[in-house]
Amino acid sequence: MKQLKRIKGTQDALPEKTMQWQALEKHIRRNMALFNFREIRTPVFEMTEVFARGIGQFTDIVSKEMYTFQDRSKKSLTLKPEMTAPVMRAYMENSLYAQAPLQKLYYIAPLFRQENPQAGRLRQFHQYGAEFIGSPAPEADVETIVLALHIFEELGLTNVRLRINTVGDPESREPYKLLLQDYLKHNIPNPEPQVAERIANNPLRVLDSKDEKLREVIAGAPKLVDHLKEKAAEHYRSVKTQLESAGVSYSEDPTLVRGLDYYTHTVFEITSDALGAQNALCGGGRYDLLARQLGGRDFPAVGFAAGMERILMALESQGKSLARPAVPDVFLITMGEAARATMTSWLAKLRRAGLSADADFLGRSVKAQFREANRSGTRFSLILGEDELNQKFFAVKDMKNSTQENVPFDSLTNYLLQKKESLTV
RNA sequence: GUGGGUGUAGCUCAGUUGGUUAGAGCACCAGAUUGUGGCUCUGGGGGUCGUGGGUUCAAAUCCCAUCACUCACCCCA
């Protein structure tokens, strides 16, 4: 029979790896709490509309890159490819705006996109992120950026770089688009069909092209920053001033854009040189137009999403580990039938006392049991043979110092708990 | 959707111009030490050489096809 395999673009997290995941998640939760963000969880799937409306029907994303399927009642459902739209949907559906004018929400979630895998890009991947809903103020943008950076700093990731830009408001952007289109049409003589289509439909997106020749043209293109109306200009100025006074170093990148038109004002990205071509650890921005696009009232909001696989990759390439392997406090070694018969009850007693305990489940030789104890990384082996059983004591072996001590049955757990405490101090 | 790279033991990889029963290190198991792990030594198990076809007296090696993985482009919410 053929070996079953996981599906393309998915990963099994083995115990070595899940330790890192757990540590990362713990780290995220701790720092989110530090900024007073609270967790929200949404279903792994949604009505396709949630994403189709959020993202816009015209893009390839909706038609090609989402896991969309019909359930038995012929409803079109989609595995969530991102979290911003579901969070906004949940925010409106549960009337969170009625509880308080501001909501600081965060999430940690698996997401699904049917793209071709490459370094740092999977079909099931995980993001954490924050959505700060309710405030149009630049202070909220700064709070969000500072939070994103804080988490990276605390992780000990080095060589992370913050780039920022503004995509303005519709009053600034619409006239600018025409200006840009005009420039691109005149300066790209024979555009590839894809590029021509871009210029026509989503000219901003041309700005972040990787094509060398295009980049030369783009370098001379008019910049949105230079064509902002006063309100948008003021917002951007304020964000920059506050970042500076908060001591945040950033660089401005006029080619940093977002593909979707619900974004407004601030956009930002945090990249790492420890990654491959997909070098963004985190991306975010203000999206004041999303709520309306989803069919609700206007709710100003700003947020970010960060790729957890990429963070773990970057940490690994910098030789950093977030977690130490867990080892049992004790390993029980029995010799002979009589001793072995008491194994289960001793394990239960140890565990009730709060000691993590393991033993041999193969009936192996003493030597093999010690080898197993050694492999487990435990500090203490508890040896129970005929002599010990008859005289009611354990031979407790310190695996590190290779010393051994006889401990009566009735003082065993206290003895071990004391040892454990003295080691952790 | 497009292009490059790679598929040999659980893992990392050797394998000469095609030539006998396909190797190493690590890991695993056992013995040396029948009540004591790590270090050392000795031994052992484990492979339809990704899959299918072709050429040949003979294929891991050459040819064709195919699949998988991987990196990059496209795209990137």
The CATH number linked to A269 is 3.30.930.10
A53 and A152 fall within a common domain: yes
pLDDT at residue A62 in the model: 72
Q: Which nucleotide is nearest to A85 (CA to C1')?
A: B77
Mean pLDDT for the stretch of residues A347-373: 96
Mean pLDDT for the stretch of residues A55-62: 68
Longest pairwise C-alpha distance within chain A? 96
- Is residue A203 situated within a structural domain? no
- Is residue A72 situated within a structural domain? yes
A45 and A114 fall within a common domain: yes
A309 and A335 fall within a common domain: no
Separation of alpha carbons A396 and A416, rounded Å: 9
Indicate yes or no: strand B within 7 A of the C-beta of A116: yes
- Is residue A22 situated within a structural domain? yes
Q: How far is CA A21 from CA A14, A18, A270, A396, in A?
A: 10, 5, 20, 34
pLDDT beyond 70 at A12: yes
pLDDT beyond 90 at A91: yes
Separation of alpha carbons A17 and A195, rounded Å: 41
Domain boundary among A317, A351, A385: A317
Q: How many angstroms separate the CA of A177 from the C1' of B38? A: 69
Summarised one tens digit per residue, pLDDT across range A218-244 is 999 999 999 999 999 999 999 999 999
Positions 162-191 in A, CB within 7 angstroms of strand B: none
State what percent of residues in chain A have pLDDT above 90.
87
- Is residue A218 situated within a structural domain? no
User: Which domain does A389 fall in, by range?
Assistant: 330-420
Q: How many angstroms separate the CA of A371 from the C1' of B27? A: 14
* Pick from A284, A283, A280: nearest CA to A309: A280
pLDDT at residue A57 in the model: 60
A334 and A279 fall within a common domain: no
For A381, list phi and psi in degrees, rounded to 5. Answer: -100, 135
Burial A248-270 (b: 16+ CB within 10 A, else e): bebeebbbbbbebbbbbbbbbbb
Q: How many angstroms separate the CA of A227 from the C1' of B64? A: 60
- Is residue A152 situated within a structural domain? yes
Q: Which two tokens stand for residue A345?
A: 């009850």
Q: How many angstroms separate the CA of A38 from the C1' of B12? A: 44
Separation of alpha carbons A74 and A355, rounded Å: 53
Domains contained in chain A, number: 2
Give me the interface pTM, i.e. the ipTM.
Answer: 0.91
Q: What is the mean pLDDT of chain A?
A: 94
Q: Which nucleotide is nearest to A336 (CA to C1')?
A: B35
Positions 39-58 in A, CB within 7 angstroms of strand B: 51, 55
A301 and A335 fall within a common domain: no
The CATH number linked to A393 is 3.40.50.800
Higher model confidence: residue A425 or residue A32? A32
Summarised one tens digit per residue, pLDDT across range A103-156 is 999 999 999 999 999 999 999 999 999 999 999 999 999 999 999 999 999 999
A131 and A246 fall within a common domain: yes
pLDDT at residue A314 in the model: 95
Domain boundary among A267, A289, A317: A317
Phi-psi region of A129 (alpha: psi -120 to 50; beta: other; left: phi over 0): beta
Q: How many angstroms separate the CA of A116 from the C1' of B55? A: 37
A310 and A365 fall within a common domain: no
A358 and A241 fall within a common domain: no
- Is residue A31 situated within a structural domain? yes
Phi-psi region of A247 (alpha: psi -120 to 50; beta: other; left: phi over 0): left
Q: How confident is the model at residue A4 (pLDDT cuts 50, 70, 90)?
A: confident
A282 and A365 fall within a common domain: no
A313 and A337 fall within a common domain: no
A249 and A383 fall within a common domain: no
Q: Which residues contact A376 (CB under 8 A, 6 or more apart)?
A: A327, A328, A331, A358
- Is residue A195 situated within a structural domain? no
Positions 402-421 in A, CB within 7 angstroms of strand B: 402, 404
Structure-derived torsion over alpha carbons of residues A153, A234, A174, A83, reported in degrees to the nearest 10: 30
- Is residue A187 situated within a structural domain? no
Indicate yes or no: strand B within 7 A of the C-beta of A343: no
A289 and A346 fall within a common domain: no
Burial A208-231 (b: 16+ CB within 10 A, else e): beeeeebeebbeebeebbebbeee
Q: Which two tokens stand for residue A4?
A: 């079953």
Q: Which residues contact A425 (CB under 8 A, 6 or more apart)?
A: none
Indicate yes or no: strand B within 7 A of the C-beta of A259: yes
Domain boundary among A251, A286, A317: A317
Query: Among all chains, which residue has been given the structure tokens 């949630």?
Result: A50
Q: How many angstroms separate the CA of A165 from the C1' of B3? A: 33
Q: Answer yes or no: are the C-beta atoms of A338 and A380 closer than 8 Å.
A: no
Separation of alpha carbons A17 and A26, rounded Å: 14
Q: Which nucleotides of B are covered by protein (CB under 7 A)?
A: 1-2, 28-31, 33-38, 68-77
